[in-house]
Amino acid sequence: MDDYEVLVIGAGPGGYVAAIRAAQLGMKAAVVERAELGGVCLNWGCLPTKTLLRSADILRLAREGAVYGLLLDSPPRFDLAAAVRRSREVAGQLNRGVRALLKKNRVAVLNGHARLLGQGRVAVESGGDVRHLQARHVILATGARPRVLAGFEPDGERIWTAREAMTPGALPRTLVVIGAGAIGVEFASFYATAGSQVTLIEAAGRILPVEDEEISELLVQRLRKQGIAIHTGAQVEGQKAGDGGLMVSFRQGGEPRTVEAERVIMAVGIVGNVEDLGLENTRVRVERNHIRVDAWCATDEPGVYAIGDVAGPPWLAHKASHEGVICVERIAGLAEAHPLDPHSVPGCTYCHPQVASVGLTEAQARAGSYEVGVGRFPFVGNGKALALGEPEGLVKTVFDRRTGELLGAHLIGPEVTELIGAYALARTLETTELELTRTVFPHPTLSEALHESVLAAFGRVVHV
């Protein structure tokens, strides 16, 4: 029986980072993975979709080339197969990179399916063979899978999950995306740019329901300008075969409606991978398809922890990686170990235009005991945004006027998924408006809009 100080089950962005951090701290570590190193995010989620969206961005710019002085002899055409191929190549390169990182840090990589046997014992099955391991600490990083609605079970042909949506054999003429969270909105944006007629259906009252309401409304306006039909407050009821594919029925405002589509993408959330892990041999508790943990990622079973998507929201790769570090540093007894503040985890949606946020929305702040001040700065007042040809968008900041605390920041516009990191850092440093207003932002940059939004919250905005 092989002994390890830390054994990580799952090699996604939380698992492999946790294993590497354990090795850095001198612990004998191993990671067990039954599929690809890097998990869903690296192989079938975050990175491949962003690669496809990059192709869509370039296509959009090519179509608008005349505005920038680029004259094309003929309208640009989109090679879907080439875009998909590049997406898979990027995923493959990153997969190999994770393997190299684990090797460099001397983390043992075990292929197979792991089950807990209790008291630190773990069985790993691969190809009919079973290997038994012993670990002082076991970290569950098994991730999650797409949630399925009854009547919309993915078949890989007409009803897709994100995996099929990333590797289409052909561009669908018509497409319905069910679910308007980040995943659904990103696919809607990609396929609409590529040339599909897209309909987006969301059960909540607005798209991107976890984002600030003002930002959601601005995104609706932009997506509709791109030709995307959007139905919110809509409950899907079923589907049946039609002449052109599937007839999707839904109810909106009490009225029955239907829309026809060659393909349907299901993007209605995820459920944690908690099955067949041997949890019945432990005191680990599962609530609503996710493992219950404390602030240090510990479960109710001594020596067993859970991180990432399987441990609950926010379901983000960077949150999983950070939890992996927190968990391992707590195991190692480092004084600087700290629990995660979920309100300081930035969220990003890579549609066009991009959306990013961190902290409380305006509504959440007003529901609290704060003296709320809100600053807004439109990108139309930013010289770099005008130069890029991306003047539509907004930077919105929410402050507590009494203390100067940055409660939240909400952005829509060019490259805001890169810009949000500045506000995330500001929250981590517990920066107030005083430090932010005194910070010198370079010119001409998009980041100047961050500064102006802070000034606007305190009546000092200059460029609008």
Give me the half-sphere count of Cα atoms (radius 13 Å) on the Cβ side of residue 405: 14
Under 8 Å between Cβ of 376 and 352? no
Residue type, 238: G
Per CATH, 159-268 and 353-457 having the same topology is answered: no
Give the separation between CA 269 and CA 2, rounded to whole angstroms: 37
Give me the CATH topology for the region 159-268.
Answer: FAD/NAD(P)-binding domain (3.50.50)
- Cis peptide bond N-terminal to 444, omega within 30: yes
Residue 322's contacts (CB-CB under 8 Å, 6 or more residues apart) are 340, 345
Residue whose tokens read 């404390």: 294
pTM passes above 0.75: yes
What is the CB-side half-sphere exposure of residue 201 using CA atoms within 13 A?
A: 23
- pLDDT score of 159: 96
CATH, domain range 353-457: 3.30.390.30
- Give the pLDDT of residue 1: 64
Cβ atoms within 10 Å of 9's Cβ, excluding its own: 29
Profile the chain (464 residues) by mean pLDDT over runs of 10 residues. Answer: 93 98 98 95 92 97 94 90 96 96 98 97 95 97 95 94 94 98 98 98 97 98 97 96 90 95 96 97 96 98 98 96 98 94 96 98 97 98 97 97 97 98 97 97 98 97 94
Give all strands of the β-sheet with 197-201 in edge-to-edge order. 159-160, 263-266, 174-178, 197-201, 229-231
pLDDT (tens digit per residue) in 102-144: 999 999 999 999 999 999 999 999 999 999 999 999 999 999 9
Structure tokens given for 331: 């195991």
CATH of segment(s) 2-146+271-342: 3.50.50.60
Confidence (pLDDT) at 74: 85
Amino acid identity at 450:
L
322 is a catalytic site residue: no
Single out the catalytic residue among 290, 318, 410, 443: 443
Per-residue model confidence (pLDDT) at position 243: 80
Q: What are the residue boundaries of the structural domains of the chain, listed by start?
A: 2-146+271-342, 159-268, 353-457
What amino acid occupies position 295? A
Tokens 């999950």 belong to residue:
161
